Amino acid sequence: MGKRSQKSSVLMVCVGNLCRSPIAEAVMMDVLKRAGLQGEWHVDSAGIEGWHCDRRPDERALNVLARHNIDYNGRARVLIPEDFLMFDYIFGMDRSNLAELKRMTPDYATAKVLLLGDFGLKPDERIIEDPYYNVGEAPFEKIYQQCNIACHHFLKQALRNQIM
């Protein structure tokens, strides 16, 4: 069986694209790199709301990523209707994100809209909570850990074509 000629693609989405989705994007890229698959996948992130367009992620998110030796240079952008055609998988971080993504999904969409935490996380840990209004970096570290588990499990399932 030959290699796919087109890259697979993932879009991580949260409300403002400052905390959770940039961490998820960076972690997914790191997981792919460690698996030697970075050339076969396109990974990006976006926000449902456009309040922070073109801003760098929250400093606490960048600090956590740096502690895990992950460089991240992305900037916030807003989700656009074309994303539902351009990406194979669009992941929300919590139930509210997922509901909004499903509401926004155009009829012609080809992307699978999923909850990232549904991959490998225990039922009571599946929601990746918004840390923006919390103090300190501990909530961001928790997000990193959740994303790391979820991205590994997602990739395993995606490579086995087991994602509905």
**List 14, 19, 147, 151, catalytic entry:** 14
State how far the Cα of 109 lies from the Cα of 94, in Å rounded to an integer.
21
**List 20, 77, 147, 151, catalytic entry:** 20
State the pLDDT confidence band at 161, using cuts at 50, 70 and 90. confident
Does the annotation count 14 as an active-site position?
yes
Q: Is a pLDDT exceeding 70 seen at residue 4?
A: no
Helix (H, G, I), strand (E, B) or coil at 26: helix
State the pLDDT confidence band at 164, using cuts at 50, 70 and 90. low
State the pLDDT confidence band at 60, using cuts at 50, 70 and 90. very high
The pLDDT > 70 percentage for the chain reads 96
Domains of the chain, by residue range, sit at: 8-159
CATH superfamily of 8-159: Response regulator (3.40.50.2300)
**List 30, 58, 83, 130, catalytic entry:** 130
- E runs forming strands in 58-146: 89-92, 112-115
Could you tell me the pTM of the whole model?
Answer: 0.94
Does residue 32 contact residue 156 with C-beta atoms inside 8 Å?
no
Q: List the end-to-end C-alpha distance of the chain, in Å, as a whole number.
A: 22
Q: Is a pLDDT exceeding 60 seen at residue 5?
A: no
pLDDT in tens, 99-109: 999 999 999 99
Higher-confidence residue of 163 and 149: namely: 149
Does residue 161 come out as left (phi exceeding 0), alpha (psi in the -120 to 50 range) or beta? left
